Structure 1
Amino acid sequence: MSSRVDSETEELLALLDDEYARTIILETYDEAQSAESLSAACDADPSTIYRRIDRLQERGLLVDQQRLDPNGHHYKVYVARLEGVAIDVTEDGFDVDVDYAEEEPADTFTRLYEEFTG
């Protein structure tokens, strides 16, 4: 039996099959999280988490935001953009449709303003 899956679909499915990537998406779905908190949630080394963050960002499933701590230092937090994935079987193979969360223009402005003003 042959599999008809293009490389982009295969990469997405492999990423979603990764336990750390799934945990990162779930942890950042409702609330932005730092890499440190994601490392704790996944019980994994920060280097492992940063590799997954990079892969998720490359696929557009995760975005980062700058935050300002009380001491005036900047740090990143991460927010999931993945809303859903639908997989259909067709005569040509698998058809994968990914739904991304979209930020409202007012939310984008507010977030940017807060990032710059602290």
Structure 2
Amino acid sequence: MCEDCRPRELLALLGDEHVQTVLSATSNGPLSANELSDICGTSLPTVYRRIEEMVACHLLAERNEIDANGNHYKTYEALLEKATVQLDDGEFVVDLDTVEQEDAPDRFMRMWNEIREDES
């Protein structure tokens, strides 16, 4: 678990309806904030607040994407695979199983390959 996210805060975050919807939607693949706003049926500022909290707690990965016109935008993808909650000596303990994030060289190679495929 991220040191910045205390167990009670993490539990409150995971209990939020919008967070659950974002995690569920992004578990199928990366989505933009605009797409998540439509899926959640809520305002873009609300989605961005939840995204910021989820990224800080390592529940969501943030990626920079480039569209065919060269415009940059961010997409988000769920990292959470499993959350385990335990009560240990009166204290909550939350363990998160997350997928490994792509490192910079891997991300560069993926983006380079996508550009090359688009040119073909």
| TM-score under structure 2 length normalisation | 0.81
2:54 aligned to which of 53, 56, 71: 56
Which amino acid letter does the alignment assign opposite residue 71 of structure 1?
N
Specify whether residues 9 and 78 from structure 1 end up closer, same or farther in structure 2 by C-alpha distance, changes over 3 A only. same
Question: 1:86: how far off?
Answer: 0.6
Specify whether residues 55 and 104 from structure 1 end up closer, same or farther in structure 2 by C-alpha distance, changes over 3 A only. closer
Aligned partners of 1:66 and 1:115 also within 8 Å: no
Supply the distance in 1 between the matched residues of 2:37 and 2:13 (Cα, whole angstroms).
17
Which SS does the other structure have where 1:31 is aligned?
coil
The count of aligned residue pairs is 110
Which amino acid letter does the alignment assign opposite residue 51 of structure 1?
R
2:30 aligned to which of 29, 32, 40: 32
Bigger drift between 15-24 and 87-96 goes to 87-96
Specify whether residues 47 and 86 from structure 1 end up closer, same or farther in structure 2 by C-alpha distance, changes over 3 A only. same
Pairing 1:91–2:102 present? no
Aligned partners of 2:8 and 2:92 also within 8 Å: no
Specify whether residues 110 and 104 from structure 1 end up closer, same or farther in structure 2 by C-alpha distance, changes over 3 A only. closer
CA RMSD of aligned residues (A): 2.0
Which amino acid letter does the alignment assign opposite residue 100 of structure 1?
T
List structure 1 runs of 4+ shifted beyond 6 angstroms: none
Question: 1:88: how far off?
Answer: 1.6
Question: 1:38: how far off?
Answer: 0.2
Question: 1:13: how far off?
Answer: 0.5
| TM-score under structure 1 length normalisation | 0.83
Partner of 1:113 in structure 2? 109
Question: 1:110: how far off?
Answer: 4.3
Aligned partners of 1:84 and 1:98 also within 8 Å: yes
Supply the distance in 2 between the matched residues of 1:22 and 1:103 (Cα, whole angstroms).
20
- Residue deviations 1:81-111 (CA, integer Å, cap 9, x gap): 1111011222232221111111467xx6443
